[in-house]
Chains A and B, each alone.
Chain A
Amino acid sequence: MEESTSHYLLIIGGVLFGLLNVAAGLIWVERRMLALWQDRYGPNRAGPFGLFIVLADTLKLFFKEDWIPPLADKVVFVIAPAIVLVTVLLGFVVVPFAPGIVVADLNIGLLFFLAMSSMGAYSIILGGWASNNKYALLGAMRGAAQMISYEVFMGLALMGVVLLTGTFNMTTIVEAQRDLWFFIPQFLGFVIFFIAGVAETHRLPFDIPESESELVAGFHSEYSGMKFGMFFIGEYLGITLISCMVVTLYFGGWLGPGFLPPLVWFAIKVFAFISLFILLRASLPRPRYDQLMEYGWKILLPLSLVNLLVTAAIVLLQTES
């Protein structure tokens, strides 16, 4: 199927436009939803349902003073927030939003996503280190350890899906779920992937690198203006990326009953998972740092290995018989 360059440019532009709007809109969605679950109103003044808070927030970020601390390593300090945005946006390259609507249908799609999410760790480490601030450094160290540890289980949990389909190609993985969505045979894998995803995006309850009650604001304590805005938008984009991956790998991607177009099904499922992320923030307390690491290495790692082993054995049995 040969497609023209303009078609690709249209897809890329559309995906970028959609994602950045979703990420900005999530500011409002998150605050309203949190308010709903905590029995209060949230931002409801500006515009219909308080929707213009997004505009006000963005304008505020643009016009704030963009301060670089004098003792900071200036180059690295400026690069760090860009890294998070670039890696997360690159991660979206392999997500199939609907049949034909995918930026690059790579054969190593899943590995590409893992590579990009592992590169995201640099923004935290470098941002924290370059700030030359002890709280930022502590946050960066926690962030590095957390992201490296949880990447391991993330990759291992995904391998169950790869075993069932025999490919890293995202479109093929979605097509293989026509009869049965993978969260049923791979329920354990789904749960581990989701937990690892929460840790990768360092969202509550795993927002240990930031943990504002202990470390001011963690790795981005020294950031202001649009540089902070990039970390902020990068976090929302990260939530969206993990939700997209969960939907694609375990909940059938764009598949759904025929009365709605595929893209709408995809959007509905992704929005459900974004809401789950926000509900987690509203309901769970933050664990201590050592508890987080212990939970990862002593519970999630063995579980994901068992999941991989059992899945491989079942696949082997099926192919032999």
Chain B
Amino acid sequence: MELTFFIAAAIAILATIMVVTQYNLIHALLYLVVSFLAISVVFFTLGAPFMAALEIIIYAGAIVVLIIFVIMMLNLTTEDIQHEKEWLQPRIWIGPAVLSFILLVELVYIFTIDTPANYRSTPVEAKAVGMSLFGPYVLGVQLSGMLLMAGIVGAYHLGRQKKKVIHRFLERTDA
């Protein structure tokens, strides 16, 4: 189980790096999907099968599909890929590299000092997730519900159209 965890984690990191370095947007998004799948396997090996399933259904299955949906309509050309190449200069990498290095040092510190956490003691089932979501964390659920409601109302407002006669001969322009 430990080996699967490390393989999945390595794939997740590699795929995420590829997301940043790919010039073609669709290819980058494909790597993003692979990264989500790998993270889902990580969740599974850590004993959270419910989270693993939701990760695929929501992130890989719905959100990235919507992003690709938008990008498909942008009509990417080779010029855009050229632009991407120009934007990704080597000096851009300095900031993220320093921050990631600090994280890496922290990770190594945790691994060496602490006794490794006993992961996968008992899998957290869907029922336990539900109990804690609607028990101590019910406020968070309600807040996110309100946020989603605001999104829906906003989308409805943007998408609303005045009712008009569809037929082109009946559509009057003068009145």
- Residues of A with Cβ closer than 8 Å to B? 73, 75-76, 79, 106-108, 111-112, 114-115, 118-119, 121-122, 125-126, 128-129, 137, 140-141, 144-145, 147-148, 151, 155, 166, 168
Q: Does B30 touch A at the CB level, under 8 Å? A: yes
A125–B50 CB distance below 8 A: no
B125–A107 CB distance below 8 A: yes
Nearest chain-B residue to A162 (Cβ)?
A: B126
B: number of interface residues (CB 8 Å): 25
Shortest A187–chain B CB gap in Å is 25
Residues of B within 8 A of A76 (CB): 26-27, 30
Q: Does B123 touch A at the CB level, under 8 Å? A: yes
B57–A73 CB distance below 8 A: no
Shortest A128–chain B CB gap in Å is 8
Residues of B within 8 A of A107 (CB): 49, 123, 125
Q: Does B65 touch A at the CB level, under 8 Å? A: yes
Distance of A129 Cα from B30 Cα, bound (Å): 13
Residues of B within 8 A of A126 (CB): 26, 30, 68
A118–B72 CB distance below 8 A: no
Distance of A140 Cα from B26 Cα, bound (Å): 14
A111–B57 CB distance below 8 A: yes
Distance of A166 Cα from B125 Cα, bound (Å): 12
Q: Does B56 touch A at the CB level, under 8 Å? A: yes
- Give 1 or 0 for each of B44-88: 1 = CB within 8 Å of chain A CB: 000001101110110011100110110011000000000000000
Shortest B6–chain A CB gap in Å is 22
B26–A129 CB distance below 8 A: yes
Q: Which of B1-38 contact A (CB under 8 A)?
A: 24, 26-27, 30, 33
Shortest A147–chain B CB gap in Å is 8
A125–B65 CB distance below 8 A: yes
A119–B68 CB distance below 8 A: no
Given A144-B69, A145-B69, the answer on whether A118 and B33 have CB atoms closer than 8 Å is no
Q: Which of A141, A151, A168 contacts B69 (CB 8 A)?
A: A141
Nearest chain-A residue to B127 (Cβ)?
A: A166
Q: Which of B26, B57, B68, B73 contacts A115 (CB 8 A)?
A: B57
- Chain A to chain B contacts (Cβ below 8 Å), 9 pairs: A108-B50, A108-B126, A119-B56, A119-B60, A121-B65, A140-B72, A144-B65, A155-B57, A166-B127
Residues of B within 8 A of A125 (CB): 65, 68-69, 72
Residues of A within 8 A of B66 (CB): 148
Given A118-B62, A119-B60, A148-B65, the answer on whether A108 and B49 have CB atoms closer than 8 Å is yes
Given A76-B30, A121-B61, A151-B62, the answer on whether A115 and B53 have CB atoms closer than 8 Å is yes
B65–A111 CB distance below 8 A: no
In order of increasing CB-CB distance, the 8 nearest A-B pairs are A118-B61, A111-B53, A115-B56, A108-B49, A108-B53, A115-B57, A144-B69, A129-B72
Shortest B119–chain A CB gap in Å is 18
Q: Which of A73, A75, A111, A122 contacts B50 (CB 8 A)?
A: A111
A73–B56 CB distance below 8 A: no
Distance of A195 Cα from B45 Cα, bound (Å): 35
Distance of A168 Cα from B57 Cα, bound (Å): 15
Nearest chain-A residue to B37 (Cβ)?
A: A119
Distance of A148 Cα from B68 Cα, bound (Å): 12
B62–A148 CB distance below 8 A: yes
Q: Which of B50, B61, B126 contacts A151 (CB 8 A)?
A: B61
Shortest B73–chain A CB gap in Å is 7
Nearest chain-A residue to B72 (Cβ)?
A: A129
B68–A144 CB distance below 8 A: yes
Nearest chain-A residue to B54 (Cβ)?
A: A111
